Structure 1
Amino acid sequence: MVQDNKITVEDIHAYVDGELSEDAAALVRDFLDKHPEAATVAEDYRAINAAILTRAAMADRVPLPERHIEAVNRKPRAPLIAASLALMAAGAAAGWVAHAVLTPRPDVLDLLASEAGASWATYAPDARRPVEIAAADASQLVRWLANRTGRSVVVPTLDDQGLAFMGGRLVAGGNRPAALLMYQDSAGRRLVVLMSPEFAGDGPTGMHFRRQTESAAVIWANGKEGFGVAGPFSEEELKRAAVVVRDSFAL
């Protein structure tokens, strides 16, 4: 039961999931209003819930490979259920302590790759207005993106990779605004850099490569933001650019 003098992590979970009575929810809401750090945790839970729902919706549209169905049918169900319950219990006990250090789930990386790839596919082919604010007004762009995303934004220099900065824009993430920067090489190929604060609740990861239909992406998270570098480039080219981006945002 929620008590006004002791709000627990479980109470916050239940509040975000809409499982509390009106009186209990009011107590938790008042607690979050007075404790910004706890409010940030609640927002992280909401983002995780939204990410799970998004991935579930995407999974519903993708047919399950026959070999996976056959593999599940061959497995005894009771041990699987027991193992799932054990994992859930362990996660509930350790979740608060490990919140800031756990490696994000693979679906978080997939979401990052999807958002970066979609941003490239949407804006890079635009011949008239691929960016909202051009490179000539980079200082204005940086201030605007920082104000809207709530994160410090920099413009990495990718000249050594043969990529000239074109400008950037604000784009919609799953739950929060994200910053998009765009570059172009001498052959006209365009590369986008996505910085999304949507994944602030997930721990740092290494860099991961994802091949997509018309482009590819390198994605990672640093514990505060998620990043994606995407375009019609090779894995080696994208990773070189990604290292520069990662180091620039770490300064």
Structure 2
Amino acid sequence: MITGRPIGEDDLQAYVDQALEPARRDEVKAYLDRHPDIAARVAGYAAQRDALRDALKPIAEEPVPPELSLARLIEARERRRFRPGSRAVAAAVLCLALGGVSGWSARSLTLPPETGIIALGEEAAASYAVYAPDRKRPVEIDAGGRDELIRWVSNRLQHPVSVPDLATAGYRFMGGRLVATAHGPAGLFLYDDDKGIRIAVLVRPMAVEKEATMSELNYGSVAGYAWANDGIGYSLVSEAPAQMLHPLADEVRRQISGKI
């Protein structure tokens, strides 16, 4: 049944998550067919979702910790049966254990959504997983359009940005693009070396942790560093070893903020 309700951001997010009723899903699809610019944004969300799943798959496949085994949790529930409020606590713990049986990924359901530097690193890893492996069109604007790319990203982020130069470290600037994140648009710059190793630098405004020291992050095969300066966040990620990325991240930070 056609509802006739306006299509909102909640509908678009539910469409990406495949959580809409069939009739509403058809309405959203028809709406996207009429609005290719919004359809491109939604496709970016879907690609980012898939990339995050791939990047975090090793974590989801970790074994359930022994202390969360079903037998131990049932035993603990029996010990607390007659304590005030114990039944609700045991039920919550048991639900967590059952989720853990399917991959231990259910622990994310008990935590608030990631924000700040952690979210920035996840977004960089997801964007890297989508675009870095692409051998035909990893960037929207190549190195020859550097000035155009800087204007485009700066205008969308409403903040002047610059493209770090990593040539002295052996990495050529390939180009970049705008990417969609859960916290708005971000600029993505890609680099590669003579061995084909690619590095991504993601930049976007920060709503929280507007000033943050450099932190090491790891998402399965993708590792890197993230930090924030003057309300702008930066993350450098790659499939290269983290110890190799640290001096590169330091160099990016030096060029952008003038300090390490």
**What band does the TM-score fall into relative to the shorter chain?**
0.5 to 0.7
Residue 243 of structure 1 aligns with an amino acid whose one-letter code is D
Partner of 1:118: 126
**2:210–2:233 CA contact under 8 A, matched in 1:** no
**Of 172, 177, 183, the match for 1:169:** 177
Describe how 1:46-65 pairs up with structure 2 within 5 A.
Answer: 65=65
The 10-residue stretch of structure 1 (235-244 or 185-194) with the greater mean CA deviation from structure 2: 235-244
Partner of 1:238: 245
Partner of 2:235: 228
**2:117–2:209 CA contact under 8 A, matched in 1:** no
1:10-34 C-alpha deviation (Å, 9 max, x unpaired): xxxxxxxxxxxxxxxxxxxxxxxxx
Specify the SS of the correspondent of 2:118.
helix
Structure 1 runs of 4+ aligned residues shifted over 4 Å read 61-66, 68-78
Does 1:141 find its partner at 2:124? no
CA distance in 1, matches of 2:122, 2:66: 24
Partner of 1:213: 220
Deviation at 1:107? 4.9
Describe how 1:39-188 pairs up with structure 2 within 5 A.
Answer: 65=65, 67=67, 107-188=115-196
CA distance in 2, matches of 1:183, 1:77: 59
CA distance in 2, matches of 1:159, 1:172: 27
Specify the SS of the correspondent of 1:206.
strand
Q: Summarize the Cα distance change of 1:113–1:67 in structure 2 as closer, same or farther, 3 Å threshold.
A: farther
1:109-160 C-alpha deviation (Å, 9 max, x unpaired): 3212211111111000111110000101101110011001111110111012
How does the TM-score come out when normalised to structure 1? 0.58
**1:201–1:223 CA contact under 8 A, matched in 2:** no
Q: What is the percent sequence identity of the aligned residues? A: 34
Q: Which runs of 5+ in 2 are unaligned?
A: 1-48, 54-58, 86-112
CA distance in 2, matches of 1:227, 1:146: 14
Partner of 2:4: none
CA distance in 2, matches of 1:154, 1:215: 24
Residue 114 of structure 1 aligns with an amino acid whose one-letter code is E
Q: Summarize the Cα distance change of 1:149–1:77 in structure 2 as closer, same or farther, 3 Å threshold.
A: farther
CA distance in 2, matches of 1:173, 1:160: 30
Specify the SS of the correspondent of 2:213.
coil
Describe how 1:24-39 pairs up with structure 2 within 5 A.
Answer: none
Deviation at 1:223? 4.2
**2:116–2:208 CA contact under 8 A, matched in 1:** no
CA distance in 1, matches of 2:65, 2:182: 27
CA distance in 2, matches of 1:238, 1:225: 20
1:36-63 C-alpha deviation (Å, 9 max, x unpaired): xxxxxxxxxxxxxxxxxx9xxx9xx969
CA distance in 1, matches of 2:254, 2:212: 14
How does the TM-score come out when normalised to structure 2? 0.56
